[in-house]
Chains A and B, each alone.
Chain A
Amino acid sequence: MSDLLKTPLFDAHVALGGKIVAFAGYELPVQYKNGALKEYTAVREGAAGIFDITHMGQVRVEGVEALKFLQYVTTNDVSKLVDGQVQYSALLNEQGTFIDDITTYKINNEAYYLCINAANRHKDVAHLQKEAANFDVIVSDESDETTLLALQGAKAQAVLQTLTDIDLEAVGYYKFSEGNILGQHGIISRTGYTGEDGFEIYIPNTVAVDVWNALLEQEAVPIGLAARDMLRTEMGYALYGHEISDSVTPVEAKLMWITKLDKGDFIGKAAVEARKSEGAKKRLIALKLIERGIPREHYKVFVNGIESGEVTSGMHSPMAGGVALAYVMPKHATEGDVSIEIRGKQVPAERTPLPFVRSNVKK
């Protein structure tokens, strides 16, 4: 594991009984000593769960053409953002397929902050810096200096408020504020990947351990990667490498809502328009098993007895049972009897709206 990176909280994870695995180039805890199910339950049932997601990357975009640049390299309409607002978006290539999905933070007209996936960081930064050559902007990779924590669950606001002078009540859904967190400058946004109310906290590495410990003292519950994946899958949130990748466009991935074809030119636009008019190659759907079983990634999906696609994320939801996100042929997205093949057996499933369980985000 020598090539793997450690976050500033690595020793803290080990001390808490974290079972360390390799994930996106980092050594991260898949679970702590009480196990993933208890962690999941803590977040869903009212605690404040704390996640070390420092592996995610952060990129600052500054300059007089920052808006123009981001309109060109991201899919969503950045001109719609007000200062202090966050937007879910994506980076596409010229083929219209995903380089990454990202969040865009607007600090002001000439300064933005992007949060990107760990596994795509170097690819994203190289792409952004190459495109930046044509604009009056500076793209800086701040990932190595920044610790990112998520605090998610009904108690998140009360717990976090004890550490910061930012008035969290005033930070709305997909809004952020900059301020003082245990004496250091940081960013707090009301965003997350769990379907619960909560925050993501960007702080300098130097204060990471202090903030982590202070949150634990406020009875925040440490949550590993396994529970994080359960929580996001129950919401039907896309994960790069699963639902989205460089082989699908937003048309297939049900992400046209973040792809604004009417905002002017952007990388991948022509390809997305073409795909939209010729029709999706496959469609992402949500499935729930009718009988016992757990769908897993890459399990085959059959419709009317024909192999139609495969599961991209699947799990046992303590609340909803066996649930899956899957790609199927477009004609099977809404019609036909669906089953998922589990160890050679066809287990019947039904299409279901997302999320699989109720979301408690404060919109």
Chain B
Amino acid sequence: MSIPADLKYTKEHEWVRIEGDIATFGVSDHAQEALGDIVFVELPEIGRTVGVAEAYAVVESVKAVSDIYAPVAGEIIEVNEALEGEPEKMNTEPYGAGWIAKVKMSGGSDELMSDDEYTTFLEE
């Protein structure tokens, strides 16, 4: 199970990479493994504003439909359109080519976990 140290995590198993006021969202290695083979991703519209823990994307695996929640609030400025053709990137590279969206942050979140905290959370 991979849990990179430079990211923050949520209890819903999303990750966020914060660089200045830009945040990149994705789902963790644990999440992709629990979801199983991802075969469809519904991306948000660019320009949409999302609140903390608001569902902003939908991911479908072979058997299930899952909402994906925003770790922090902001305006969607970029989406990973490559996932429409290759949703399996979320399985194979959850922290790299499997990123979902980028937002211009409008606020932080007290709920984010460090890699160590997330590791402990997964163990509990």
Shortest Cβ distance from B58 into A: residue: A343
Shortest Cβ distance from B64 into A: residue: A296
- Name the segment of B34-42, B74-82, B97-105, B110-118 touching the other chain: B34-42
Taking the closest CB of chain A, its distance from the CB of B95, in whole angstroms, is: 19
B60 touches A316 (CB 8 A): yes
Q: Is B62 an interface residue (CB 8 A)?
A: yes
Contact among B42, B58, B62 with A230 in the assembled complex (CB-CB below 8 Å): B62
B25-67 Cβ-contact flags toward A at 8 Å (1 or 0): 0000000000011011010000000000000001010110100
Chain B residue numbers with a CB within 8 Å of A84 are none
B40 touches A36 (CB 8 A): no
Taking the closest CB of chain A, its distance from the CB of B68, in whole angstroms, is: 13
User: In this complex, which of B36, B37, B62, B91 has the most chain A Cβ atoms within 10 angstroms of its Cβ?
Assistant: B62
Q: Is B12 an interface residue (CB 8 A)?
A: no
In the complex, what distance in Å separates the CA atom of A37 from the CA atom of B90? 14
A316 touches B84 (CB 8 A): no
Chain B residue numbers with a CB within 8 Å of A37 are 37, 39, 62, 88
B-facing residues in A28-48 (Cβ within 8 Å): 30-31, 35-38
Chain B residue numbers with a CB within 8 Å of A36 are 36-37, 62-63
B58 touches A226 (CB 8 A): no
A294 touches B60 (CB 8 A): yes
In the complex, what distance in Å separates the CA atom of A292 from the CA atom of B40? 9
Shortest Cβ distance from B91 into A: residue: A35
Chain A residue numbers with a CB within 8 Å of B60 are 294, 316
Shortest Cβ distance from A227 into B: residue: B62
In the complex, what distance in Å separates the CA atom of A318 from the CA atom of B62? 10
Contact among B40, B62, B88 with A226 in the assembled complex (CB-CB below 8 Å): B62
Q: Is A293 an interface residue (CB 8 A)?
A: yes
Chain A residue numbers with a CB within 8 Å of B63 are 30, 36, 226
Shortest Cβ distance from B62 into A: residue: A36
A294 touches B40 (CB 8 A): yes
In the complex, what distance in Å separates the CA atom of A316 from the CA atom of B42? 14
A16-33 Cβ-contact flags toward B at 8 Å (1 or 0): 000100000000001100
Chain B residue numbers with a CB within 8 Å of A296 are 65
Shortest Cβ distance from A38 into B: residue: B37
Contact among B37, B42, B65 with A35 in the assembled complex (CB-CB below 8 Å): B37
- Tell me whether A343 and B36 are in contact in the complex, defined as CB-CB below 8 angstroms, given that A30-B63, A296-B65 are known contacts: no
Chain A residue numbers with a CB within 8 Å of B36 are 19, 31, 35-36, 226
Chain A residue numbers with a CB within 8 Å of B58 are 343
A84-111 Cβ-contact flags toward B at 8 Å (1 or 0): 0000000000000000000000000000
Chain B residue numbers with a CB within 8 Å of A30 are 63
Chain B residue numbers with a CB within 8 Å of A38 are 37
Shortest Cβ distance from B87 into A: residue: A316
Shortest Cβ distance from B61 into A: residue: A36
Chain B residue numbers with a CB within 8 Å of A230 are 62
Chain A residue numbers with a CB within 8 Å of B62 are 31, 35-37, 226-227, 230, 315-316
In the complex, what distance in Å separates the CA atom of A257 from the CA atom of B44? 46
Contact among B65, B84, B88, B91 with A292 in the assembled complex (CB-CB below 8 Å): B84
B-facing residues in A276-315 (Cβ within 8 Å): 292-294, 296, 315
A102-127 Cβ-contact flags toward B at 8 Å (1 or 0): 00000000000000000000000000
In the complex, what distance in Å separates the CA atom of A227 from the CA atom of B36? 12
18 contacts between A and B (CB under 8 A): A30-B63, A35-B36, A35-B91, A36-B36, A37-B37, A37-B88, A226-B36, A226-B62, A292-B40, A293-B40, A294-B39, A294-B40, A294-B60, A294-B65, A316-B60, A316-B62, A318-B39, A343-B42
Given A37-B88, A38-B37, 4 other A-B residues pairs in contact with their CB atoms under 8 A: A30-B63, A37-B39, A294-B40, A343-B42
